[in-house]
């Protein structure tokens, strides 16, 4: 009798150079806290943005410690792929993944994915995700948007991608920037069907509002 061991099937998380790297850090932490496997890609521009927004320098030679410093927790289960490595696992449809998230996603990444440019591993992995009919979530962090970008996002949506503007809501009782980040990441995790408790869900009345106050 052959006993087959469970195979690793990760979420692919790609970070591009748009402002909003706290979203990526919170997403990584939440996925790992939920016991999910993660494959990580960080573009060269994203490394500059991480350094600018957090002061953390991510280097290939010591990425594990650098990413742990950025995320704020151990990242030993993470598999890291260089964005220039076209021989990486996620470049092939035969490499098993649960899907992919690009967070934050630049408009350049949106464009490259929409036209199938595959100019780096991030775009190639997203292309593979779409062709294999796996979930692809793009956390867009840009405003305002050009018509061509809107058209490219519509094209991606028709192919099955989920387009999520990094648009925090205030009805969940946010009291800090971290709360606003948690709301966006929580809504993203909802798209992946990953359990979390990052925000208080809407139940018909704002948090902290009593029935007496509603009657007034």
pLDDT band at 117 (very low <50, low <70, confident <90, very high): very high
Give residue limits of the domains in the chain.
11-215
Rounded mean pLDDT, 20-28: 97
Could you tell me the strand order of the sheet in which 99-105 lies? Answer: 79-80, 38-42, 11-15, 99-105, 136-140, 162-165
The tokens describing 28, both together, are 């990584």
> pTM surpassing 0.95?
no
State the Cα–Cα distance between residues 187 and 167, nearest whole angstrom: 10
In the predicted structure, residue 139 carries a pLDDT above the cut 70: yes
Cα(63)–Cα(41) distance, integer angstroms: 11
pLDDT at 201: 83
What is the distance between the alpha carbons of residues 50 and 26, in angstroms, rounded to a whole number?
Answer: 13
Select the more confidently predicted residue: 6 or 203.
Answer: 203
DSSP conformation letters of 150-208? HHHHHHHHHTTPEEEE----STT---SHHHHHHHHHHHHHHHHT----SSPPP-SS-TT
Residue 46 has pLDDT above 90, yes or no: yes
pLDDT tier at 212 (50, 70, 90 boundaries)? low
Decide: 83 and 53 in contact? Cβ < 8 Å. Answer: no
164: β partners: 139
Is residue 194 scored above 60 in pLDDT?
A: yes
Mean pLDDT of the region 138-152: 96
Work out the number of other CB atoms within 10 angstroms of the CB of residue 65: 13
Residue whose C-alpha is closest to residue 90's, from 136, 64, 129, 134: 129
For the 11-215 domain, the top CATH level (class) is: alpha beta
Q: Which residues pair with 42 in a beta bridge?
A: 15
Which pLDDT belongs to residue 210?
Answer: 55
Task: Output the pLDDT for position 2.
Answer: 38
Q: Across-strand partners of 38? A: 11
């Amino acid at each position: 009798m052959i006993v087959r061991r469970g195979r690793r099937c990760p979420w692919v998380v790609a970070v591009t150079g748009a402002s909003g790297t706290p979203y990526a850090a919170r997403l990584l932490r939440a996925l790992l806290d939920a016991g999910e496997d993660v494959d990580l890609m960080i573009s060269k521009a994203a490394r500059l943005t991480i350094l600018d927004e957090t002061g953390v320098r991510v280097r290939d030679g010591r990425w594990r410690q650098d990413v742990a410093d950025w995320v704020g927790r151990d990242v030993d289960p993470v598999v890291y792929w260089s964005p220039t490595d076209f021989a990486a696992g996620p470049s092939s449809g035969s490499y098993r993944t649960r899907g992919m998230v690009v967070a934050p996603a630049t408009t350049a990444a949106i464009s490259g994915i929409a036209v199938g440019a595959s100019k780096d591993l991030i775009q190639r992995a997203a292309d593979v995700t779409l062709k294999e009919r796996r979930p692809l979530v793009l956390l867009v962090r840009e405003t305002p948007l050009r018509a061509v970008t809107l058209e490219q996002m519509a094209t991606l949506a028709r192919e099955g991608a989920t387009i999520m503007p990094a648009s925090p809501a205030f009805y969940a009782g946010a009291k800090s920037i971290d709360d606003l980040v948690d709301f966006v990441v929580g809504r993203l995790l909802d798209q992946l069907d990953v359990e979390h408790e990052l925000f208080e869900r809407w139940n018909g009345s704002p948090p902290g509002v009593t029935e007496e106050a509603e009657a007034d």
